[in-house]
Amino acid sequence: MKKFLSRIALGAMALLMLAGTVHAEELLLVPQPLSTVLSGGVFKVTAKTPLIVESGDENPARIFAEQMMPLFGQKKPMTITTRGEGIRLSIDPTLEAEGYKMTTTKKGICISGGSEAGIFYGLQSLRQLIHTYEGCIPCGEILDAPNFAYRGAHFDVCRHFFTVEEVKRYIDILAAHKLNRLHWHLTDDQGWRIEIKAYPELTEKGSMRKETLIGHCHRPEGFDGIPYGGYYTQEQIREVVDYAAKRYITIIPEFEMPGHAQAALHALPWLGCEEQQVEVWTQWGVTPEVMCGGKESTYQFLETVLSEIVALFPSELIHIGGDECPKERWKVCEHCQARMEALGLKSENQLQGYLIERIEKFLNGYGRRLIGWDEILECGVTPTATVMSWRGTEGGITAAKRGNQVVMTPMEPCSFDFYQTKSQEGEGLQIGGHVSFEKVYAWDPYKGLNEEEKKYILGVQCNLWTEYILDMRHVEMKLLPRLAALSEVQWATERRNEKSIRPRMEQLRKFYEACGWNYAPYYFKGRE
């Protein structure tokens, strides 16, 4: 702590000079604020600076105080009170709900937000500034608000499983970048990861695969022969949901249907067209084994599982997958063909459309809304469904033109399991593709849309599939620093600054180091 304080004056002066070389009125913050006006002078924040909650809940202050403990070397968090001078927090209903205003004078700091979330985001900016300017916060005013209402990141825990504490760490990283959605991918061919009371077999049998593919799925080298699995109890799910909510992140669960369901089919063979016996899948890619779209028992299963999911997750949006569903089984299934005939459907795609529409009505009965991958557009999706465009932006553009809400997440540049450099040197085995920091930062999620259609773009998301990501250290390396580039696309779409992003990132990397996060070095070494 003494060493930290002894460097304050010199460090703050040097950093302010660096800021001046970028822009006279710009602070080294990611994502870029809406506006910044500097007035001269600084206010010094220390471990003894109190947090004064003038209005609103104490939660933003509590989280911030906990987050600052490692930086200050504290054993106890900063003091939270309701009066005095220091860092004052209040609600200002004239601001946007997630917007904030930070006013710094030589006497203290005032952060007001349109809601507790706005205060939280203001404190996340202050957290960066405290580290960057070594406690000496430049006096002036920051006014800030996000561009997109939906600022998301996806996390696949099916191909490789991550503990509750690791998921919380993932959430911490998202929160520091001002994201507000975690798309939690909980069921797939390679493992069922959520406890369902009505069907205990799903986790008893479906959460464990007998082995895992070695090598790339297109160049397999055999199998490791090691059983692999894991799942979350409902109590653990609630714990994670609560943890995220306190950081103003809504968790959107994904329950895959009717494809990517081989783990469920292993646990409950009657879900298949021919009640075929299958193993939890040990490979990557797309399997032909899917749920039967004809039997009423399938729909009873889907609704029963969803009734437990909506009880666990407050999210208005519930993700049902809907992607990569081969129809070979359906074409020769007497149950599927009989239902198609009874409904007057001409194709198996229309049968999937019937399934999705029926599930959407079921979710609507709980006050929830359906979201699915862009393949659902091929099934005659309803105008009220939300489309997640992953195979490119075309699906999102089509959906927006139809009037559906859209989350843009095209593989390039939003698949963060892709290689980060063209050479791939030092990156290990990955799925393929190339998504550099620069590609993410330059992406325009509105491209191809007119002003009216832009209104239907709910937000932007990156996806992290974990076929080739085995541990949390690797997860962080795939996320960072590309998540910073994405956060600026999400939060500051129209005000990105290519001239200042590198010096701002040079400071953010030091923030990552202070947090103990493992970031990829390629961007900082000039590798694309």
Tokens for 91, please give them. Answer: 């609600």
* From 57, 316, 324, 378, the catalytic residue: 324
Dihedral sign for Cα atoms in the order 69, 72, 74, 77: negative
Tokens for 524, please give them. Answer: 């900082």
Longest dimension (CA), the chain: 79
Q: Count how many residues are written for the chain.
A: 528
* From 26, 116, 156, 188, the catalytic residue: 188
Residue 491 contacts residue 454 (beta carbons within 8 Å): no
Distance CA(498)–CA(513), nearest Å, equals: 23
Residue 211 contacts residue 225 (beta carbons within 8 Å): yes
Give 452-513 as a DSSP string: HHHTTEEEEEEB---TT--SHHHHHHHHTTHHHHHHHHHH-GGG--TTTHHHHHHHHHHHHH
Tokens for 38, please give them. Answer: 């500097």
Q: Is the previous residue joined to 200 through a cis bond, with omega within 30 degrees of 0? A: no
For helices 334-343 and 348-364, angle between their N-to-C axes, nearest 10 degrees: 70
Residue 501 contacts residue 20 (beta carbons within 8 Å): no
DSSP assignment, residue 359?
A: H
- End-to-end alpha-carbon separation of the chain, Å? 38
Active site (annotated) includes residue 289? no
Active site (annotated) includes residue 324? yes
- The secondary structure element, H or E, covering residue 104 is strand 100-105
3-state helix, strand, coil in the chain (%, to 5): 40, 20, 40
Residue 399 contacts residue 371 (beta carbons within 8 Å): no
Smallest CA-to-CA distance from 476 within 422, 526, 420 is with 420
Tokens for 390, please give them. Answer: 């992953």
* From 154, 183, 185, 260, the catalytic residue: 260
Residue 37's contacts (CB-CB under 8 Å, 6 or more residues apart) are 25, 140, 141
Helix count and strand count (H, E) for the chain: 19, 21
- Give the C-alpha distances (Å, rounded to integers) separating 35 from 18, 143, 259, 492: 18, 5, 46, 11
Distance CA(265)–CA(268), nearest Å, equals: 5
Distance CA(433)–CA(419), nearest Å, equals: 6
Would you name the residues annotated as active-site residues?
Answer: 188, 260, 324
